């Protein structure tokens, strides 16, 4: 698979399940990959996607060296807002991915050699070993030395029983689309991970150090109070710092904004590239949502109904006054499906609904009652078309 083609299809929303898995794996490889994709999203929002797709028609004879020089010039003169032609702008961005190979990814390499099964929950140990986690298992997980990492009881992995010594070691749990999982950290903090999410965390928090974890995707945190050891959640370039509270973070790589919703307690938000400063950090109050714009590095606050953002913890899919094009993302994650819409008029239709045990077919039928459309389901792939007269 060619990563440039995958990026273009991702922006268009045309990825198959395997292509989406390929993309997710690529973007998890490094912060450079994630930053590259964010830049691509930004230029598409500013100038449209047509120029992006034209770039794939270019031949190898294109003067890439010249493009790179232009890119470097733009970096040096960013404050002067030096602008390229749209085509060169996209070419410059893509050459970073393809010519320089950001993300240690050979775009001609077969996907089958790089990815675990798409529908499995995986746990990566500190030595790189990857274990497949079945949600119906009862087991004690141990490391390579025989030390107890934690105990699994179905859909929950409990590290509060860990026998690990005072040595910092990280595990990473990845949850695919269509599934959820719960982790109890060594301090008894409980983390609920939503579909398409991952959490990197210490097997045991060390005395005298902050309790820091790293989230990609969406998680609900019920943090145990400990005034001596602040709890920090890092999501891309935003940190959320707490002592003890309940809050939800949504930080999917493909989304422009990182959303933090506070249920109770208090949290401080600040740029993860900077040291925490109580005077400059932004304080979030219960019942409010903070949206961090990854493009413009700005925070915006609004009062919200927290149940809308936390209902997924109980298996609910809560939608309130949301355009269908955004609902599609939620459905894909929740049901582990790929949805392609050939009905542009439907994209901006606004819906409000709550689903629980409904199948994807039942959910789509519910939407058709308000705005008629046809859909076809073929395995994990769904195609939406306008209603035939």
Q: Which of 183, 250, 243, 257 is nearest to 215 (CA)?
A: 250
Residue 123 pLDDT level (bands cut at 50, 70, 90): very high
Specify whether 55 is located in the same domain as 107: yes
Q: At what angle do helices 3-12 and 31-47 cross, to 10 degrees?
A: 50
Q: What is d(CA 302, CA 244) in angstroms, rounded to the nearest whole number?
A: 22
- What kind and span of H or E run contains 97? helix 86-98
Specify whether 33 is located in the same domain as 67: yes
* CA distance to 88, 94, 342, 365, per residue, from 382 (Å): 35, 30, 11, 13
Specify whether 23 is located in the same domain as 104: yes
Which comes out higher in pLDDT, residue 306 or 208? 306
What pLDDT does residue 115 have? 45
At residue 57, does pLDDT exceed 50? Answer: no
What pLDDT does residue 65 have? 42
Q: What is d(CA 256, CA 294) in angstroms, rounded to the nearest whole number?
A: 6
Look at residues 91, 113, 135 and tell me which one is the last residue of a structural domain.
113
Please say whether the beta carbons of 354 and 311 come within 8 A. yes
- 94-108, 134-148, 264-278: the lowest-pLDDT one: 94-108
Residue 61 pLDDT level (bands cut at 50, 70, 90): very low
Residue 217 pLDDT level (bands cut at 50, 70, 90): very high
| Average of per-residue pLDDT values in the chain | 80
pLDDT in tens, 219-277: 999 999 998 899 999 998 899 999 779 999 999 988 889 999 999 999 999 988 888 88
- 86-100, 215-229, 367-381: the lowest-pLDDT one: 86-100
Q: Which of 224, 219, 192, 180 is nearest to 205 (CA)?
A: 224
pTM above threshold 0.85: no
Report the percent of the chain where pLDDT is more than 70. Answer: 76
Residues in a beta bridge with 353: 319
Specify whether 128 is located in the same domain as 149: yes
At residue 172, does pLDDT exceed 60? Answer: yes
Specify whether 220 is located in the same domain as 302: yes
Specify whether 153 is located in the same domain as 192: yes
Helix (H, G, I), strand (E, B) or coil at 29: coil
Specify whether 296 is located in the same domain as 332: no
What pLDDT does residue 49 have? 59
Specify whether 7 is located in the same domain as 70: yes
Look at residues 186, 207, 228 and tell me which one is the last residue of a structural domain.
207
Q: What is d(CA 58, CA 266) in angstroms, rounded to the nearest whole number?
A: 52
pLDDT in tens, 298-311: 899 999 999 999 99
Which comes out higher in pLDDT, residue 78 or 118? 118
What pLDDT does residue 145 have? 76
- Residues 6 or more apart whose Cβ sits within 8 Å of residue 31: 236
Report the percent of the chain where pLDDT is more than 90. Answer: 50
Look at residues 207, 223, 239 and tell me which one is the last residue of a structural domain.
207
Which comes out higher in pLDDT, residue 164 or 369? 369
At residue 143, does pLDDT exceed 90? Answer: no
> What is the total count of domains within the chain?
4
Average pLDDT over residues 144-171: 84
Q: What is d(CA 126, CA 141) in angstroms, rounded to the nearest whole number?
A: 13
Which letter does DSSP use for residue 194 in this model?
P
Specify whether 220 is located in the same domain as 152: no
Domain that holds residue 67: 3-113
Q: Is 24 exposed, middle or buried (0-12, 13-18, 19+ CB in 10 A)?
A: buried
Q: Which of 234, 123, 104, 106 is nearest to 176 (CA)?
A: 123
Which letter does DSSP use for residue 71 in this model?
H
């Amino acid at each position: 698979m060619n990563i440039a083609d995958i990026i273009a299809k991702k922006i268009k929303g045309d990825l198959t399940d395997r292509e989406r898995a390929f993309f997710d794996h690529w973007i998890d490889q490094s912060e450079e990959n994630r930053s590259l994709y964010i830049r691509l999203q930004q230029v598409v929002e500013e100038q449209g996607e047509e120029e992006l797709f034209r770039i794939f028609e270019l031949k190898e004879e294109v003067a890439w060296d010249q493009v790179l020089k232009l890119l470097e010039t733009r970096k040096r003169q960013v404050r002067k807002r030096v602008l390229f032609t749209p085509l060169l702008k996209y070419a410059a961005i893509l050459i970073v991915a393809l010519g320089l190979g950001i993300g240690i990814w050979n775009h001609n390499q077969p996907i089958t050699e790089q990815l675990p099964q798409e529908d499995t929950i995986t746990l990566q140990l500190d030595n790189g070993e990857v274990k497949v986690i079945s949600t119906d298992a009862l087991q004690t997980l141990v490391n390579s030395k025989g030390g107890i990492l934690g105990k699994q009881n179905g859909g929950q992995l409990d590290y509060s029983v860990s026998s690990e010594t005072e040595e910092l070691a990280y595990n990473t749990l990845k949850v695919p689309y269509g599934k959820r999982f719960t982790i109890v950290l060594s301090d008894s903090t409980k983390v609920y991970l939503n579909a398409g999410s991952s959490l990197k965390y210490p097997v045991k928090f060390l005395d005298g150090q902050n309790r820091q974890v790293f989230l990609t995707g969406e998680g609900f945190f019920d943090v145990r109070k400990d005034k001596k050891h602040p709890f920090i959640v890092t999501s891309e370039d935003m940190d959320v710092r707490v002592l003890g509270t309940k809050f939800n973070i949504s930080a999917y790589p493909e989304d422009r904004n990182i959303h933090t919703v506070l249920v109770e307690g208090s949290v401080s938000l600040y740029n993860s590239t900077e040291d925490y400063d109580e005077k400059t950090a932004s304080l979030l109050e219960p019942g409010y949502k903070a949206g961090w714009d990854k493009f413009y590095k700005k925070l915006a606050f609004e009062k919200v109904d927290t149940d809308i953002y936390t209902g997924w913890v109980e298996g609910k899919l809560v939608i309130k006054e949301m355009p269908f094009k955004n609902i599609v993302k939620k459905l894909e994650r929740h049901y582990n499906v790929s949805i392609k819409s050939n009905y542009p008029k439907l994209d901006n239709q606004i819906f409000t609904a709550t689903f629980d045990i409904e199948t994807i077919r039942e959910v789509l039928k519910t939407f058709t009652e308000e705005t008629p459309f046809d859909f076809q389901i073929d395995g994990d792939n769904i195609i939406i078309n306008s209603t035939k007269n």
